[in-house]
Structure 1
Amino acid sequence: MITSHAIRRAALGAATASAVVLLAACGGEKHTGAHGAPAASVTTGAHNAQDVTFAQGMIPHHQQALEMARLASGHASSAAVKALAARIEKAQDPEIRAMTGWLKSWGEEPPMAGMDHSRHDGMAGMSGMMSADDMTALEKSTGATFDKKFLTLMIAHHQGAVEMANTEKAKGRDGRATRMADDVIAAQSAEIKQMKGLLAEK
């Protein structure tokens, strides 16, 4: 005969097992996505149109900054300018790869690979983007002339990136994109301050 005590023990065991399963399920929902982002930020529907605009605009913006930075090793005379250019390249190349991955995961088209964005008419009006004439003049300059021109153009370029990042922070939804916007604002604002100091010495 099954006693009432045994029945109560069986019921208690079942309730405990259910609680363990429930806690495990809840705990499983708290995993993080890429760059430590909450899972919700990497699932379908977690981004909005502003996130797409940010990534599609910032990729060619960064690519032009890389094009400018890569000229410094052979054209600049200032060690500080060369070091700054190397730091820009090191920071922005991985960000381009990250944003390209986001766009693909969202089912959106990344900017065309291999496009010369600095010369592309559709990009010239983007905040901080250099014109084809600006880029040609930078390529043709060397020494102290290059240093001054590079700093002047890159300050304007960074200011445009900060403006774009502020818009993303205000209107974006995806956690990875808004955190990158924070990084852009912090890093490029500091570099703007540094470049203004270097320019004042010229």
Structure 2
Amino acid sequence: MASRRSLVRRAASLATAATAATVLAACGSSSDSSSSASPAPGHSGHDMGAMHPSGTASAGGHDPQDVSFAQGMIPHHRQAVAMADLAASRAKSPQVKDLAAKIKQAQDPEINTMSGWLKAWGEKVPGVGKSGMDSMPGMDHSASSMPGMMSDEDMGKLKGLSGDAFDKAFLQMMTSHHQGAIEMAKTEQAKGAYAPAKTMAKSIVTSQSAEITEMNKMLSKQ
């Protein structure tokens, strides 16, 4: 009789242990699946950042002034580069040739950068005209349409010069051209919203002001 009661107690203990093991296993499974389905907050944030990367020119990060700045400065820079290209074969002064090379080296990358902004914003990138002006609809292509911009006649005159005459004309025209660019850049600094464009505008004001000082010194020796 005692032996039978011992067997009953043992069976009851085994049943209780089995039930506890089942409950624990279920809890562990639930916890694991919950952890898998809901990653840690920090990890989740990283994934969202990967799914929605921020662009270099996000749609909400600019205003009409930024668009105007890029669309105006691109052809302005292109003309400066075209003028600089002429100096390689027409300038006499090594200083003028060096300055022209520096202008081209600085402004070519800025053209590419501003073109990238406009594409990212879904705006038109100016095409190339004979004098560096663009072919965008509704834009006045006269010499006075953009500060410091040379007319086709001005560019034709510069192409026909060489030696000392070219050097003098180049320095005079580029000084005026730079002054126009500085005016445009200051407008962007005051009214623009896109930080990289405002930073570029500040750089243009600084670098081209220094080049104007340099060109004035060269002209004084002509």
Question: Do Structure 1 and Structure 2 share a fold, with TM-score over 0.5?
Answer: yes
Equivalent position amino acid for 2:130 in 1: D
Equivalent position amino acid for 2:98 in 1: A
Residue 92 of structure 1 pairs with residue 107 of structure 2: yes
Q: Contact 2:79 / 2:133 at 8 angstroms: preserved in 1?
A: no
Q: Contact 1:118 / 1:131 at 8 angstroms: preserved in 2?
A: no
Give the match for residue 86 of structure 2.
71
Matches of 1:55 and 1:48 in 2, distance apart? 11
Give the match for residue 141 of structure 2.
122
**Count of residue pairs the alignment pairs up:** 188
TM superposition outliers: structure 1 runs of 4+ over 3 Å: 17-28, 117-121
**How do 1:166-185 and structure 2 match up within 5 A?**
166-185=186-205
SS at match of 1:122: coil
Structure 1 residues 19 and 106: alpha-carbon distance in aligned structure 2, compared to 1, 3 A threshold: closer
- TM, length-normalised to structure 2: 0.73
Matches of 2:71 and 2:185 in 1, distance apart? 12
**How do 1:1-202 and structure 2 match up within 5 A?**
20-21=42-43, 39=54, 42-113=57-128, 115-118=129-132, 122=141, 124-125=143-144, 126-202=146-222
Equivalent position amino acid for 2:93 in 1: S
- TM, length-normalised to structure 1: 0.80
Identity among equivalent pairs (%): 47
Residues 46-103 of structure 1: CA deviation (Å, up to 9, x unaligned): 1100000000000000011011111001111000000000000111111111111110
Q: Contact 1:118 / 1:135 at 8 angstroms: preserved in 2?
A: no
Matches of 1:141 and 1:23 in 2, distance apart? 62
Structure with the bigger RCO (C-alpha within 8 Å, sep 6+) is: 1
Matches of 2:73 and 2:209 in 1, distance apart? 16
Equivalent position amino acid for 1:124 in 2: A
Matches of 1:117 and 1:147 in 2, distance apart? 19
Q: Contact 2:71 / 2:126 at 8 angstroms: preserved in 1?
A: yes
Equivalent position amino acid for 2:208 in 1: Q
Larger Rg: 2
Q: Contact 2:66 / 2:192 at 8 angstroms: preserved in 1?
A: yes
